[in-house]
């Protein structure tokens, strides 16, 4: 490509990419393609090198001829629009890359201040029911990104040293109230209830909030039976495993 530039915009912005279109000379085609590493190239639109008034305006990613150029309009960008965008020209068997853009979509920072979990106050016995709480303290009631928040519950046991996903909660499953400590903040509580527990349920239960393409972990709640003094730990490798799994699970 003659030019390869890096452009960064925020989620929800409109973007226009353009490449030159020379009307003289041999007739050919112009293409806008998108390339995401690991995926096949995607053709977003095509036109002729000569003046041609037909355009592709029926989607959020629209292509159109303009005087001396062939443009790609991306409306209301999403995190999934992060990719390489190339304009190329095809004449008979020759293909020329005119320019390329790596478009990076930056999501808003999550407005989450903290994710906390409370320790169980009473000893537990086999057959009991336990309720685990995860409190999410946010700066404001206004969401900073359109994606719905999700809370993931994981159990980490010392026997396996591996994490297991046990429950997923959507944002509508929480109970929120205004936080008196801050003028605009609010606290939301997610509950996970486990009935008829057994010794196999021992471990440390972590809640993790996925918001704005990022993950915020709670501090964990230990579930151990009376007389059970096993220490539970979570390794860095396990945290990385959890983080990658959440991002894959919530990918738009």
pLDDT for the residue numbered 230: 39
Tens of each residue's pLDDT in the chain, 252 residues: 445 788 889 888 999 999 988 776 778 888 899 988 767 889 999 888 787 777 666 688 999 888 888 999 999 998 888 888 999 888 877 888 888 888 988 876 666 778 899 888 778 888 888 889 888 887 765 565 655 677 888 887 765 545 567 777 776 666 777 655 555 567 888 888 888 888 888 888 888 887 776 778 888 888 887 654 434 334 444 555 555 555 555 544
pLDDT for the residue numbered 244: 55
- Its pTM surpasses 0.85: no
pLDDT for the residue numbered 229: 42
* DSSP notation for 201-244: G-EEEEEEEEETTEEEE---EEE-BTT--------HHHHHHHHH
pLDDT for the residue numbered 252: 46
pLDDT for the residue numbered 236: 47
Beta strands in 123-202 (DSSP E): 130-138, 150-156, 163-170, 175-178, 186-194
pLDDT for the residue numbered 105: 85
Cβ neighbors of 252 (< 8 A, separation 6 or more) are 78, 79, 80, 147
pLDDT tens-digit readout, 191-200 = 888 888 888 8
Count of CB atoms situated within 10 Å of the CB of 82: 16
* Residue 178 contacts residue 212 (beta carbons within 8 Å): no
pLDDT for the residue numbered 104: 85
């Amino acid at each position: 490509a003659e030019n390869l530039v890096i452009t960064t915009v925020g989620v929800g912005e409109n973007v226009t990419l353009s490449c030159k279109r020379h009307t003289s000379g041999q007739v050919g085609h112009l293409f806008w393609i998108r390339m995401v590493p690991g995926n096949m190239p995607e053709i977003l639109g095509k036109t002729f090198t000569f003046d041609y008034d037909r355009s592709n305006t029926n989607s959020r990613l629209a292509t159109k001829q303009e005087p001396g150029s062939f443009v790609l309009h991306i409306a209301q960008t999403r995190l999934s629009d992060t990719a390489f965008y190339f304009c190329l020209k095809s004449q008979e068997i020759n293909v020329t890359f005119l320019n390329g853009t790596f478009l990076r979509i930056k999501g808003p920072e999550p407005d989450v201040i903290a994710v906390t979990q409370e320790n169980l106050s009473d000893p537990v016995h086999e057959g009991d029911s336990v309720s685990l709480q995860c409190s999410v303290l946010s700066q404001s009631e206004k969401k900073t990104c359109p994606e719905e928040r999700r809370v993931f519950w994981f159990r980490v046991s010392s026997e396996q040293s591996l994490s297991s996903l046990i429950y997923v909660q959507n944002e509508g499953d929480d109970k929120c109230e205004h936080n008196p400590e801050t003028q605009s903040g609010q606290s939301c509580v997610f509950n996970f209830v486990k009935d008829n527990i057994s010794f196999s349920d021992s471990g440390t239960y972590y809640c993790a909030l996925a918001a704005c393409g990022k993950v915020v972990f709670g501090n964990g709640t230990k579930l151990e039976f009376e007389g059970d003094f096993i220490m539970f730990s979570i390794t860095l490798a396990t945290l990385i495993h959890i983080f990658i799994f959440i991002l894959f699970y919530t990918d738009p």
